[in-house]
Amino acid sequence: QITLKESGPTLVKPTETLMLTCTFSGVSFSATGAGVGWIRQPPGKALEWLALLYWNDDKRYSSSLKDRLTVTKDSSKNQVVLTLTNVDPLDTGTYYCAHRRSGDGAFNVWGQGAMVTVSS
Amino acid sequence: AIQMTQSPSSLSASVGDRITITCRASQGIRSDLGWYQQKPGIAPKLLIYAASSLESGVPSRFSGSGSGTNFTLTISSLQPEDFATYYCLQDYNYPFTFGQGTRLEIK
């Protein structure tokens, strides 16, 4: 059974760097095309895809955020880390990590989400 | 980036109704599309993958169809637990993009 859980700060000041950790279990690192994605949702708004990290360390990013966004993994800790630099109040929202399944590429298991507020 | 346009943005319906939600891609995406259900305060849940494949454990009243640029999600007979917001997501190419969502409300 695959599980994921996001953790990190709930409040970040403008211009600071946000780091969120996705801790997972039950995944297969050998599955081709599988990985972890990040998705966020501003309050009352739609989902926005942010990034995807494959187990082979290939990384893909949102066009609008690629200059501020980085995803890395620590396989020994079963963690994927999202780093967003120079945050703005518009970065406020719930951040989800989700498992991308091998083969069909669906995001089949999601974390519960982490609410982050950017405010001074 | 590929734009995904969902319609309608909101929909009122009754228990037992059949409803259809549409998602249109700005360019062809083969069948690389999924549908997700989200209830308030809860993470999205995968319903349909590869445009028409029903995720394990999802009731058979949900179905998806389409390929290329036009896709639909159909709920054949609405149940009380189906009132939620629905999103499509294209994973044909990067960056992946969601539709703006369809809020399904009880009439």
DSSP B17-47: --EEEEEEESS--TT-EEEEEE-TTS--EEE
Query: Which tokens is B36 given?
Result: 């997700």
Per-residue pLDDT, A32: 84
For strands B19-25 and B45-49, give the pairing: unpaired
Whether residue A42 lies within 8 A of chain B, CB to CB, comes out as: no
* Residue numbers of chain B with a pLDDT score lower than 50: none
Sign of CA dihedral A55, B26, B21, B76: negative
- For every residue of A37-51, DSSP letters joined together read EEEEE-TTS--EEEE
Q: What is the pLDDT of residues A59-97, one digit of tens each?
A: 999 999 999 999 999 989 999 999 999 999 999 999 999
Nearest-neighbour CA in chain A from B96: distance (Å): 6
Nearest-neighbour CA in chain B from A93: distance (Å): 12
Across the interface, do A47 and B98 touch by the CB < 8 Å criterion?
Answer: yes
Helix (H, G, I), strand (E, B) or coil at A73: strand
Q: What is the pLDDT of residues A12-66, one digit of tens each?
A: 999 999 999 999 999 877 788 899 999 999 999 999 999 999 999 999 999 999 9
Distance CA B100, CA B85 (A): 10
Contact list, B97 vs chain A (CB under 8 Å): 49
Distance CA A111, CA A5 (A): 5
